[in-house]
């Protein structure tokens, strides 16, 4: 397992080799001790599997209070995955980082608590798996509009299919963090 930091040092790319042979491949998707050895000190308590069509954008989603860390992988297709720093005391507050995840790579994006998360589907469809450090609580969730000019995310496209719920997400300046 190799770990690489991105421009926001707490958001990590974790590479877990795929072991391939004539039968297919095997990949270790999570190993508690290996994560602890790299100071990723979170236990994941919920897994989510999401299928989306081309041009779908999901997010930006975040949680109040304790937050929800995530370990994201793209099982099928290609996504552009984004994390936005919502920690007011951070020197990267309100900054974002994005990374392409594909079915062909062996990468996972680790997003710690205190970040908003979203992704766009850049292939015909995509199957995304993400582990969470907290059980989903709809009363704790809130959203930030995907094209907020105060964050200015450089999404790969200008137009996406967005859920009615996500169209009602707030602008960053409306948040009370």
**Residues catalogued as catalytic:** 61, 130
Q: Please tell me the distance from the alpha carbon of residue 19 to that of residue 28, in angstroms, as a whole number.
A: 9
The phi, psi pair for 15, rounded to 5°, reads -110, 125
Q: Mark 18-34 as b/e (b = at least 16 C-beta within 10 Å).
A: eeeeeeeeeeeeeeeee
Return all residues near 34 (Cβ < 8 A) that are at least 6 apart.
1
């Amino acid at each position: 397992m190799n770990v690489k930091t991105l421009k926001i040092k707490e958001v990590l790319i974790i590479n877990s080799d795929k072991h391939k042979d004539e039968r297919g491949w095997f990949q270790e998707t999570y190993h508690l001790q290996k994560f602890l050895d790299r100071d990723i000190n979170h236990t994941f308590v919920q897994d989510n599997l999401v299928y989306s069509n081309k041009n779908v954008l999901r997010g930006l989603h975040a949680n109040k209070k304790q937050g929800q860390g995530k370990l994201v992988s793209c099982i099928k297709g290609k996504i552009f995955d984004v994390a936005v720093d919502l920690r007011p005391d951070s020197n990267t507050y309100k900054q974002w980082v994005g990374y392409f995840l594909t079915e062909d790579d062996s990468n996972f994006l680790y997003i710690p608590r205190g970040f908003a998360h979203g992704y766009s589907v850049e292939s015909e469809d995509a199957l995304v798996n993400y582990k969470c450090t907290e059980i989903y609580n709809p009363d704790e969730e809130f959203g930030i509009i995907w094209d907020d000019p105060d964050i200015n995310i450089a999404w790969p496209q200008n137009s996406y299919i967005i859920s009615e719920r996500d169209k009602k997400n707030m602008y960053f300046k409306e948040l009370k963090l």
